[in-house]
Structure 1
Amino acid sequence: MIKHQTIELPTDNGERLDVHIYNCQLDKGVNILKAEGLEEITARDLADIRLTAGPDHYITKRGAFVAETIIYLHNGNILLTDRNRSPILKDATKAVELHRKHEEFYLDEKIVNELCECAEVDTEKAIKSGVILIPKKEIQKEIPVLRLDKKPLTRFLFRDLAGQYGHLLKEGGVDSLPLHALDAMYSTTVKAPFARALYVHLFWEWFYLGSNDPMDFKSSICADKWIEPNYWGVWGLKRMPTAKRKL
């Protein structure tokens, strides 16, 4: 039986964020969310959840896969798609099956060409088209949190909340946001462009047992994970109006 948890977060604007977490693999979770009229959360949704809940809430201290997808191209450049253009969400069953065997989710040439045609370097245009192109030379391993709204990758992911989210991270003791991406050389050696899911790590620091050194995962963006196994569940979000009190 798939475990389901709902966390209700009241906001300051009369809404309530209902976060639904299903403890299952991505393909099953996507189908459940669809049946419930929900979609997998985006990076912006996750930022909204953390901003609403605050840095000390336990849901803020959990990481999650988000709906955006990263495409590794042969030339070392990367594409980042929004939820609507995600190849993984369109064929989650195949992606999970391949990742379970640690095999890449290769994309057909037609799909790659379509995504490349939609891709924009300009962030605002990319937000409208649903695909942003990040040239290899501009892929940063760390992004200062107070510049999340200035950098194309994080502006595309966190949208209008990028600046606020950066300040939340700063208040939580994070100075820079690490990006864990596959080495560009790897994408030149495989047979075709491929897709990986994006995972936004937990808000606090982990420590290895017996070590005083924190792992560099604090709120990092991971573009190098297999989506199977998935220990973190599949998250959906519903915005609900808050009932007015009777006078």
Structure 2
Amino acid sequence: MTVLDWLADPANWSGSGGIPAQVGYHLLYTGIALVIASAVAIPLGVVIGYTGRGEVLVAGSANALRALPTLGLLILLFLLLAPVIAGQLVFAVPTIIVLVLLAVPPILTGTYTGIQSADGAAVDAATGMGYTRAQVLWKVQLPCALPLLLSGIRGATLQVVSTATVAAYLGLQGLGRYIIDGRAQADFAQMAGGALVVAGLALALELLFVLLGRTVVSPGLRRTSRRRRPAPAETVTSMIRTVPATR
């Protein structure tokens, strides 16, 4: 059986073990990990970008997490948590922790870098219009940071989607099942088919983030991110218009 035969087999597209169901499990792990990672990394990134403090310590420690071996960490967490957690959670919790640790660094980096990279002319103009420091942060710096923030979340999403296959090592469902089961059965068509589905899912999410960026990021910021250089007055005006002053 070839990879195309495996993908075209209707039996692989139905039932609890079919591709749609496994994609659902895969997206569930990914979504939970991204929500938790965003809840941790975005506020922390805002604090670092706003105050300029803790960047070396916090961001450096977060980036060091990328060097951890994912599979080894997964097994270690399972062994540590198995005596204290019962039921299916003993398999799900280590998986989510590993994926969260993988997602935090790009989101954190994108958040504080975006805030620190906000156009100084726009910040000065907002301050001159009577904005408080908090208003400058929420109405100028954060909107200006949106392209880099979304880029960080997009990078985290792609990393988590490609790595969530490790859930199958602990017996969980997901697209990793095709790779693990295919290897156990010497079914290379199943292994390659599962890998292609993961790649297709990552590509679909990438396109989704491209569309999201075009929807939520203002055209002026998109032009800036593409390294076009509008006149300074035009840059300041476009940024301030997106965040009218509070009276």
**TM-score bin (small chain):** under 0.3
Structure with more helix by fraction: 2
User: TM-score with structure 1 length normalisation?
Assistant: 0.25
Larger radius of gyration: 2
Higher relative contact order (CA 8 A, sep 6+): 1
Task: Report the structure, 1 or 2, having the larger strand content.
Answer: 1
